Structure 1
Amino acid sequence: MLNGTCGAFLNDVEDFPRLNPKTLLAASMAIARFRGFLSKVDDFHGVRNIFSCSLKTEFRGRRQPRDEATRLLFERISPIGDPTASMVPVLDQWVKEGNEVNKSQLTNIIKDLRSFKRYSHALQISMWMSEKRYIELTSSDISVRLDLVSKIHGIEEAESHFNNVPVHQRSLEVYGALLNCYANAKCVEKAEGLMDKMRDLGFARGSLVYSVLLGLYQQTGNYGKMENLVEEMEEKRIRLNSHAYCILLNAYRTKSDTSKIDEVLKKAESDDVYGKHWSVYSNAAHGYLEAGLVDKAVTTLRYAEEFITGDRRNHLAYEFLMTQYAKAGKRDDVLRVWKIYNKKKRVLNKGYISFISSLLRLDDIESAEQVFDEWKVKGLSLDIRIPNLLIKHYCKKDLLEKAKAVIEEIISKGVKPNEQTWLYLASCYLEEGRSQEAVEAMKKSLREATSIDISEWTHYNDVLEACLKFLKEEGNIKEAEEFVQLLEQQGNASPVVSQRFLQYVTGENPKPEEQ
């Protein structure tokens, strides 16, 4: 999986005018034709919020509020980072002060909040919009709310919300939003049942709808069903869009079936409307690379370059190409693409992440350090992910002092290290036999790691286990208790798991089990 290189292509559906289902379907197909779709994961497989997605944007590069009133209201809302905090008092106070508030302002703010994954606040504003301001919701508004309800409260609540939508408002867009919720939750049977209903209603007529189900089958390993769905599309003369091609290519990459990759690519090359897209060639190249066909992958990547258009999101192409060329060991191509990227686009943080990570993959530390120094004076937002790339690499190379120097530098500039920063440092301390310092670094990591499921983070578990083992060998029960208490308080372990950790330290268990 590539790090930080890809995002979604599709604009939020709420940007569309209020269209009837037939016109909306045509508009959706046009978007598919000219832009394609990408997924939430870095190698473009899967489906991400096709009907109600929001683009991840860097703070400095995000869309600015449309008018002064919207900007001022957003400035009140933006600093409230606690997802449990209510937006209602803020909105009520805004109105009490005599300020105007309209639907356009609220939907724009909802968009911004979604782009920063502040789903709870976005949902609160959506509910306030209809319950306090009595603003009539369009199909687009309902679709966005469905997506938010699913993210915050789960799929059952989303279903309940859908069932309460008046029948006359259950447009293609609303059905598509629910289908996307099922796909994100990997509810195959429910998605298939809804797709049957959409067929009956005449909504399953375009590649957009089919792409959601294709992506779900690919994500869940239902490759037979995926191929059957493609056959159905062919029978109905529904053309694959570029996103659908990418789904198929990634499915066959997962299966290491290069002959199937060849077939899909051949079909795409004969499709002048949808197939000749840089993302299609890049995904094929990714499959070839993973199969060890480096020369074939590089040739395919160079074809991909020919189809990079002037689209305002073509930065994704350059970022992905750099990471792929780095995987292939082609340093000159990485530098060449970076030069083109720098010339044609204003490079933001994601571009620097792709370039620096590509250089480090090639073990070109000196160049990576030069680019890091360039980034520091660019005036972009101070994104911790960028110094973390160097810190991680230094720690892997046992360059502890260099890693510490970067951490000290970013702290002096007001950048707050995150859980990964301290994890890398703790790991490096352990390699050097400085276990007590590793424990201290790990404590800092735990304080930041409020959203990490440590049972699914292998490296985190390894370092955690090493720290607990050290405390056990030292007989430092008091510090071990403090360590485990911090683990539980930050929500990274249940009381049962915490108890097992303590039993391990006190000798009651032979190994610190997480399960």
Structure 2
Amino acid sequence: MWALRRASISLRNQGYRVRTSYFFGKLEIPYSSEGNVAGFGTTAASSDRCISFERNNLATWPSSRIYISSHGLSSQAGAENSGEEDNVEDGFSELDETLPSTSPLEESKATNDNVEELTSGSEIDDDDDDEVDDGTQNELDLPEVETELAEKISKKGAPSALFKAIWSASDLSVPRVLDKWVSEGKDISRADISLAMLKLRRRRMFRKALQFSEWLESSGQLDFIEGDYASRLDLIAKVLGLHKAESYIANIPKSFQGEMVYRTLLANYVVVKNVKKAEEVFNKMKDLGFPITTFACNALLHLYKRADRRKIADVLLLMEKENVKPSLFSYKILIDAKGLSNDMIGMEQVVDTMKAEGIELDVSALSLLAKHYASGGLKDKAKAILKEMEDVNTKGSRWPCRILLPHFGELQMEDEVRRVWKICESNPYIEECMAAIVAWGKLKNIPEAEKIFDRVVKTWKKLSAKQYSTMLKVYADNKMLVKGKELVKQMADSGCRIGPLTWDEIVKLYVEAGEVEKADTFLGKAVQKHQMKPLFTSYMRIMDQYARKGDVHNTEKIFYKMRLSGYVARFSQFRTLIQAYINAKAPAYGMKERMKADNVFPNRDLAEKLAQLDAFRRTAVSDLLD
């Protein structure tokens, strides 16, 4: 049994920082909440009788009713659009003619601010499912209706005629194809349904999966259970949006409105990093008397790792009070959180605790360690981890190659890239090709990357935008604007569906070429025409460049656009915005109040930046001198 207990509270830096530590087994997990900085209120500590994740207004609740709360306040940046934007030029205007119009409600899944586009572009092959999951897929994906039988069939690479019939149908003809299937006397067992649904989801064909689910219920081909309703809710969230998904719960029979349904909704709010709604759903689950599960706690840990790492300690305390045992995924989140904070010692403590609890590191956990060691400049430790990853692969499976290749590229280990690629080269999976392209791109060996990409284009009849974007990223990282334009035209000519992931690389191409205005114009026109939400990083690339130039107006404009797109204000956005005012030597009136309204609190560095802005305030004397 693991132990989780609060260890200490110490005040440091004369009120600038409140540091609280918890012990996770034998591991100290510190977080810091910034209180009493630059005019902000102090931070209260959680009492023994409650857990609240609200930093500046903690409430006491009985231990049987542990709540999580958060502010929903926001501020308007107030920047207006600077008039009509120019047309997109220089090879990217083809996108306007080739992108299909998309419903503004359609959402795609985000992971660490990266979104996979909704595509159905991968070529169908019966042996697709021979590929072993590398364990790095989003572990918050809720269990769909797939049964253990479907998983076993899938792993054996068994074909699914039902899936192929749905896949080959147009978006509007799925019900008609299924009606024909039944009229021809073909059986539809739950195993067939589960396998077809599994394959549709793996290819991110969520719209067809939703139509399939709706047809199953309306035609009476399947007696729905809670898992089927949870799967439907998940598909609605992905295709129609979370508002529709939440409303759908009222249509589910009361007897099936169980924990699985609500945790599905929770996971989808976590995916889009909506802290307020995720916490509301968690509290609702508590109100309904559902047990606090490892899944629900992992969802919150994952959310706070991405949105507010100070709250991780609160979740750990909650897990201790409710005797919720951490899973391998729990530890992976903590490893990643420590690595992102550049706390290598803390990261190693998490690993030690895992081992003490008898939990083995899998390849994806080792990959996280290697990534953070490399980014932290500890290359020898990263190399040792990569060696361990290969040793773990005792069964001789090839799938770790796709993880190893980018790591070897990042560490500039060209000989290792060649060695691993040689293992796959004779008959590679498309994921291995993509990994090799990434590796050669990091080594700045563009001809090798292009050679593999050309092979991909010739081997697979239809590529998704994600696969094109892999090569586009290589060009963007190496500031090859002309090559990037040519590739985008190739994407357009192929009829490839292009969305936020590709937009991000196009924005990066322009920004790296020093053309931030064109990047801004392109992104604005893409959003306006296709009503899709850009990646957080797309906005930040542009915002950072405007800030460096001291262009306060356009920095505020991007800040405002991000809010309109649904992104909740974060520390990084305010840091960039404040830097724009500093570079412009202009006062930022009301900045502290704006940050406080968005529940964003400065650390010591940002407090110093805020103090710099005071020097630019206008006074009666300065007006006279002007």
- In structure 2, C-alpha distance between the alignment counterparts of 1:150 and 1:243, rounded to whole Å: 23
Q: How is 1:114-513 mapped onto 2 (pairs within 5 angstroms)? A: 114-133=201-220, 135-185=222-272, 186=274, 187-197=277-287, 200-201=289-290, 203-205=291-293, 207-224=294-311, 226-234=312-320, 238-272=324-358, 274-308=359-393, 310=395, 315=399, 317-340=400-423, 347-375=428-456, 378=459, 382=463, 386=467, 389-390=470-471, 393=474, 420=502, 450=530, 452-453=532-533, 457-458=538-539
Contact 1:162–1:178 (CA<8 Å) still a contact in 2?
A: no
Aligned counterpart, 1:74: 166
Between 1:240-249 and 1:376-385, the stretch displaced more is 376-385
Query: 1:144: Cα distance to partner?
Result: 0.6
- In structure 2, C-alpha distance between the alignment counterparts of 1:223 and 1:447, rounded to whole Å: 33
- In structure 1, C-alpha distance between the alignment counterparts of 2:372 and 2:505, rounded to whole Å: 32
Contact 2:438–2:470 (CA<8 Å) still a contact in 1?
A: yes
- In structure 2, C-alpha distance between the alignment counterparts of 1:310 and 1:172, rounded to whole Å: 37
Q: How is 1:57-136 mapped onto 2 (pairs within 5 angstroms)? A: 66=159, 68=161, 70=162, 73-74=165-166, 76-77=168-169, 79-80=170-171, 85=172, 87-95=174-182, 101=188, 103-133=190-220, 135-136=222-223
- In structure 2, C-alpha distance between the alignment counterparts of 1:175 and 1:401, rounded to whole Å: 48
Contact 1:341–1:347 (CA<8 Å) still a contact in 2?
A: yes
- In structure 1, C-alpha distance between the alignment counterparts of 2:222 and 2:180, rounded to whole Å: 18
- The percent of aligned pairs where both chains have the same amino acid is 20
Aligned AA (2:216)? M
Contact 1:6–1:319 (CA<8 Å) still a contact in 2?
A: no
Contact 1:214–1:229 (CA<8 Å) still a contact in 2?
A: yes
Aligned AA (2:286)? D
Q: 1:295 to 1:191 in 2, by over 3 A?
A: farther
Q: 1:235 to 1:104 in 2, by over 3 A?
A: same
Contact 1:2–1:323 (CA<8 Å) still a contact in 2?
A: no
Aligned AA (1:323)? P
Contact 1:4–1:350 (CA<8 Å) still a contact in 2?
A: no
Matched position secondary structure for 1:295 = helix
Aligned counterpart, 2:596: none
- In structure 1, C-alpha distance between the alignment counterparts of 2:116 and 2:465, rounded to whole Å: 18
Query: 1:288: Cα distance to partner?
Result: 2.4
- In structure 1, C-alpha distance between the alignment counterparts of 2:318 and 2:527, rounded to whole Å: 51
Query: 1:214: Cα distance to partner?
Result: 1.9
- In structure 2, C-alpha distance between the alignment counterparts of 1:333 and 1:182, rounded to whole Å: 40
Query: 1:155: Cα distance to partner?
Result: 3.2
| Matched residue count | 405
Contact 1:5–1:350 (CA<8 Å) still a contact in 2?
A: no
Between 1:288-297 and 1:241-250, the stretch displaced more is 288-297
Q: 1:21-48 CA deviation, whole Å, 9 max, x = no partner?
A: xxxxxxxxxxxxx9895344xxxxxx54
From the two aligned structures, give the one with the greater strand fraction.
2
- Give unmatched runs, 5+ long, in structure 2: 1-110, 118-131, 147-153, 547-564, 566-626
Q: How is 1:32-43 mapped onto 2 (pairs within 5 angstroms)? A: 38-40=136-138
- Give unmatched runs, 5+ long, in structure 1: 8-33, 41-46, 55-60, 466-491, 493-515
Q: 1:53 to 1:365 in 2, by over 3 A?
A: farther
Q: 1:160-212 CA deviation, whole Å, 9 max, x = no partner?
A: 433443444345533432332342343232243145257x44x435x344322
| TM-score normalised by the chain length of structure 1 | 0.62
Q: 1:354 to 1:449 in 2, by over 3 A?
A: farther
Contact 2:464–2:497 (CA<8 Å) still a contact in 1?
A: no
Query: 1:126: Cα distance to partner?
Result: 1.2
- In structure 2, C-alpha distance between the alignment counterparts of 1:406 and 1:259, rounded to whole Å: 43
Q: 1:138 to 1:431 in 2, by over 3 A?
A: closer
Query: 1:354: Cα distance to partner?
Result: 1.1
Q: 1:449 to 1:353 in 2, by over 3 A?
A: farther
Relative CO higher for 1 or 2, CA cutoff 8 Å, sep ≥ 6? 2
Q: 1:461 to 1:218 in 2, by over 3 A?
A: closer
